[in-house]
Amino acid sequence: MAFEYAPAPESRSVVDIAPSYGLFIDGEFTDAADGKVFKTVSPATEEVLSEVARAGAEDVDRAVKAARGAFAKWSALPGAERAKYLFRIARIIQERSRELAVLETLDNGKPIRETRDADLPLVAAHFFYYAGWADKLDHAGYGANPRPLGVAGQVIPWNFPLLMLAWKIAPALATGNTVVLKPAETTPLSALFFADICRQAGLPRGVVNILPGYGDTGAALVEHEDVDKIAFTGSTAVGKAIARQIAGTGKKATLELGGKGANIVFDDAPVDQAVEGIVTGIFFNQGQVCCAGSRLLVQESVQDELLDSLKRRLSTLRVGDPLDKNTDLGAINSAEQLARIRTLADAGEAEGAERWSPECELPASGYWFAPTLFTNVTQAHTVARDEIFGPVLSVLTFRTPEEAVAKANNTQYGLSAGIWTEKGSRILAVANRLRAGVVWANTFNKFDPTSPFGGYKESGYGREGGRHGLEAYLDV
Amino acid sequence: MGGAPLADVTASDGSLRRFLHGLPGVDAVGLEARAASLGTRSIKTTAKAYAIDLAISMIDLTTLEGADTPGKVRSLAAKALHPDPTDRTVPTTAALCVYPDMVETAVASLAGSDVKVASVATAFPAGRTALAVKLADVRDAVAAGADEIDMVIDRGAFLAGHYLKVYEEIVAVKAECGAARLKVIFETGELSTYDNIRRASWLGMVAGADFIKTSTGKVAVNATPANTLLMLEAVRDFRAQTGVRVGVKPAGGIRTSKDAIKFLVLVNETVGEDWLDSHWFRFGASSLLNDLLMQRQKLSTGRYSGPDYVTVD
């Protein structure tokens, strides 16, 4: 008899999802002015979770006015007072973390193991970290008494809904800005629960406003003349559109866009840990991670050995019900994203790359894509150049460190990279030459609020996290 | 079988060193993270029942005290045969593990059963004595009827880089074992680094170990999920290279069912089903058995009993 793990589902009863949600403006939940709504579904089952108000231009105007109205008082509070609210929010997030983890898993499709062990602890950590900065801004390196910008318009993606909210809202509030945030249309729920947390924390009305909606809502927010700062995380195409839209307006912007991270494995790498790092790099959150290590660059001399180990390891990945505590790989976030992944994977095959997936049974309903490897990939293949944003790894080889660096940098993006070698001097030498915002050494996809994060080239500009993350929200 | 290339490896101290130092390095942070991540697997209901019985069947029920008496050994033998006197569906443990002078008593007490008699030897636990004495210790235990010998390596020689000396000693002990299976204890807590543990694992396997074992249970750090994961990777890779399968035995510090199940998850997801058998995986433990029995009672009755519903040793 084999050791089969019995189902171990996390209970849904810890979260109470209302049949409908409004927009959160000036401390109140309200309907959209034009009464429009949209449905949000669980990508693992296609079950409708709730109906959510869809913000239009008029609602954006109301929300920006509320944020502007709250700005004078909020920014005039002593930093230590703002910090109290942020600490309170962080504590409430910790207390409600199980509920939020289940909610996020339901709305996003990612495994509960990740929301529980990665997303939620990082969300709380971000609020704790920036709470600590609120009364120390004089010492952040921007001179005495640096001023906030005003109203921040923030547009966040669906891959880490609550974590991206934390990355945006925590530094904005710590520095004294007020916020209008638009969550992604496929994952609005955790932001709406966050609105409730703001009320629970007694945050003054209008300091945080949440406007669920589609791209048009985001565009209206970016366009609004009384918004001082745009923070966007999402696709490069939308990022470019935003940059064009705000050109000449004086609005400050940070853009965190796509990536095609190179994970470079040298022949002296710690093999078993490198395999784990490759798996974490591309299959964490189903590969729907802007800094994913979606290109594996492996030294030709160890290619066969490494690929054997990697394939063996992929055969143990557990794909399925995201609420099961033993699931490693959950659902793709939306039908649209699944279609995009399929198109790109098919292009890889059509262009002659060799496709491999472990045997795995995918659920009948919902949006699913098996973990996939492409070997015999060259720099000229679509799967080596385009961001797939799914559980698809392209394997390329190199012969010398020079070739590894040249291939790693030969991309329109520049967000992340990884280096695997037991040789410390090689880590430093290679890292210095990689044009990527974050370079991990003998690890991958490690996040911490104290570390700045951001890209080169078409991966965007500006830094979030750490002391550097304050600059984006200060008039400096 | 790839015996030839590995024979070259042991031609000299230098070749053995080059081979062992040529093994892939171990990143400590990554290894521990992987072990911790597998530790979050949630093993419930039917899977838990399966794992508990499997764990019981893999225990080397152990008493290694200066105060051991024939009476104590007989009492433990009875427990190995019938871990829960109220429930005859409980499997026997894999073995009873004692000092060489208690082997005779153990063999007599377990006669006619499948429970093996394991004996520590080679001046366990320190191993700091002459080779002739160590070999006599092994001969003695084998002559008394031990089915399995648990030897300790010379950690001093290993840390000094005298790998060939360690190797030759294992080979010599193996030669004395006859039909008895040889478990080679590295005392991982004294080897200290994961790189050393990987090298020791290969050294032991090349020298003919039937089992590689973490610890004596007599030092501060014994079996951990990380060092056991590393040794499982070693037996997996050794089999891929030579075709020879070697068992793994974490020992010391595994006291709860929850811990034991985490180790079984490591086995399941690293080397798979082939090792999920008492012939290839063991727990060196004593107090673990009672916790497994209490958890087993809880699963079958729905209630927690308590320490008075399992036997003291």
Question: Pick from B123, B119, B147, B118: which is nearest to B135 by CA?
Answer: B123
Residue B307 lies in a domain: no
User: pLDDT of A311-340, one tens digit each?
Assistant: 999 999 999 999 999 999 999 999 999 999
Q: A8 vs B48: CB contact, 8 Å cut-off?
A: no
Q: B41 vs A325: CB contact, 8 Å cut-off?
A: yes
Cα separation, A336 vs A271, whole angstroms: 36
Residue B53 lies in a domain: yes
A121: chain B residues, CB-CB within 8 Å: none
Gap from A270 CA to chain B (nearest CA, Å): 5
Residue B309 lies in a domain: no
Q: Which of B30, B31, B45 lies closest to A6 in CB terms?
A: B45
Gap from B86 CA to chain A (nearest CA, Å): 25
Cα Rg, chain A, nearest whole Å: 22
Cα separation, B140 vs B119, whole angstroms: 10
Residue B172 lies in a domain: yes
CB-based burial label for B168 (10 Å; 0-12, 13-18, 19+):
middle
Mean predicted confidence (pLDDT) in B120-130: 97
Q: A273 vs B48: CB contact, 8 Å cut-off?
A: no
User: pLDDT of B62-95, one tens digit each?
Assistant: 999 999 999 999 999 999 999 999 999 999 999 9
Cα separation, A91 vs B215, whole angstroms: 42
User: pLDDT of A265-298, one tens digit each?
Assistant: 999 999 999 999 999 999 999 999 999 999 999 9
Measured torsion, CA atoms of residues B194, B196, B202, B205, in degrees rounded to the nearest 10 = -100
Q: What is the mean pLDDT of chain B?
A: 96
A325: chain B residues, CB-CB within 8 Å: 40-42
B265: chain A residues, CB-CB within 8 Å: 3
Residue B221 lies in a domain: yes
Residue B310 lies in a domain: no
Angle at A212 between CA A206 and CA A216, to 5 degrees: 110
Q: Which of A256, A387, A458, A464 is catalytic?
A: A256
Percent of chain A whose predicted confidence (pLDDT) is above 70: 100
Mean predicted confidence (pLDDT) in B214-238: 97
Q: Which of A1, A113, A270 lies closest to B24 in CB terms?
A: A270
Q: What is the mean pLDDT of chain A?
A: 97
Q: SS3 of B251, please?
A: strand
Q: Which of A5, A117, A443 lies closest to B47 in CB terms?
A: A5
User: pLDDT of A418-446, one tens digit each?
Assistant: 999 999 999 999 999 999 999 999 999 99
Residue B226 lies in a domain: yes
User: pLDDT of A204-241, one tens digit each?
Assistant: 999 999 999 999 999 999 999 999 999 999 999 999 99
Question: Pick from A407, A400, A367: which is nearest to A385 by CA?
Answer: A407
CATH at B35: 3.20.20.70
Task: Assess contact for B222 and B50: CB atoms under 8 A.
Answer: no
Cα separation, B167 vs A40, whole angstroms: 64
Measured torsion, CA atoms of residues A110, A116, A119, A122, in degrees rounded to the nearest 10 = -170
The β-bridge relationship of strands A37-41 and A48-53 is antiparallel
Q: A442 vs B41: CB contact, 8 Å cut-off?
A: no
Task: Assess contact for B135 and B165: CB atoms under 8 A.
Answer: no
Tokens encoding A360: 């795995």
Task: Assess contact for A277 and A254: CB atoms under 8 A.
Answer: no
Residue A145 has pLDDT above 80, yes or no: yes
Cα Rg, chain B, nearest whole Å: 19
State residue A272's pLDDT score.
98
Q: A326 vs B42: CB contact, 8 Å cut-off?
A: yes
The β-bridge relationship of strands A48-53 and A23-25 is unpaired
Q: A272 vs B54: CB contact, 8 Å cut-off?
A: no
Strand order across the B95-98 sheet: B247-249, B211-213, B181-185, B148-152, B116-120, B95-98, B59-62, B283-285
Interchain contact B269–A (C-beta under 8 A): yes
Tokens encoding B207: 């020298």
Q: Which residues of B are catalytic, by number?
A: 150, 213, 249
Interchain contact B23–A (C-beta under 8 A): no
Residue B171 lies in a domain: yes
State residue B2's pLDDT score.
41
Residue A48 has pLDDT above 80, yes or no: yes
Interchain contact B89–A (C-beta under 8 A): no
Interchain contact B46–A (C-beta under 8 A): yes
Residue B221, Cα to own-chain centre: how many angstroms?
15
Cα separation, B103 vs A340, whole angstroms: 67
Q: A8 vs B54: CB contact, 8 Å cut-off?
A: no
Interchain contact A422–B (C-beta under 8 A): yes
Question: Pick from A131, A51, A67, A134: which is nearest to A94 by CA?
Answer: A131
User: pLDDT of B264-281, one tens digit each?
Assistant: 999 999 999 999 999 999
**What amino acid occupies position A88?**
R
| Residue range of the domain that includes B62 | 3-302
User: pLDDT of A55-96, one tens digit each?
Assistant: 999 999 999 999 999 999 999 999 999 999 999 999 999 999
A8: chain B residues, CB-CB within 8 Å: 42-44
Task: Assess contact for A353 and A372: CB atoms under 8 A.
Answer: no
Mean predicted confidence (pLDDT) in A398-411: 98
The 10 Å CB-count burial string (b at 16+, else e) for A374-402 is bbebeeebbbbebbbbbbbbbbbbbeebe
Give how many domains chain B has, as a whole number: 1
Gap from B128 CA to chain A (nearest CA, Å): 33
Diameter of chain B by CA atoms? 60
State residue A1's pLDDT score.
58
Q: B33 vs A272: CB contact, 8 Å cut-off?
A: no
Cα separation, B83 vs A304, whole angstroms: 48
User: pLDDT of A122-137, one tens digit each?
Assistant: 999 999 999 999 999 9
Residue A389 has pLDDT above 60, yes or no: yes
State residue B4's pLDDT score.
53
Interchain contact A113–B (C-beta under 8 A): yes
Q: Look up the ipTM and state it.
A: 0.95
Mean predicted confidence (pLDDT) in A173-191: 98
Q: How far is CA A449 from CA A84, A245, A437, A446, B58, in A?
A: 18, 30, 15, 10, 44
The β-bridge relationship of strands A392-398 and A372-375 is parallel
**List of E strands, chain B:** 59-62, 95-98, 116-120, 148-152, 181-185, 211-213, 247-249, 283-285
State residue B278's pLDDT score.
98
Cα separation, A318 vs B41, whole angstroms: 11
Task: Assess contact for B106 and B117: CB atoms under 8 A.
Answer: yes
Question: Pick from A312, A309, A328: which is nearest to A320 by CA?
Answer: A328
Cα separation, A66 vs A25, whole angstroms: 7
Length of chain B, in residues: 313
State residue B6's pLDDT score.
87
The interface residues of chain B toward chain A in range 93-152, judged by CB-CB distance below 8 A, are: none
CB-based burial label for B70 (10 Å; 0-12, 13-18, 19+):
middle
Interchain contact A309–B (C-beta under 8 A): no
Confidence of residue B1 (pLDDT cuts 50, 70, 90): very low
Interchain contact B31–A (C-beta under 8 A): yes
Residue A472 has pLDDT above 50, yes or no: yes
Q: B47 vs A3: CB contact, 8 Å cut-off?
A: yes
Go through the domains of chain A in sequence order and give each one's CATH number.
12-257+456-471 (3.40.605.10), 262-441 (3.40.309.10)
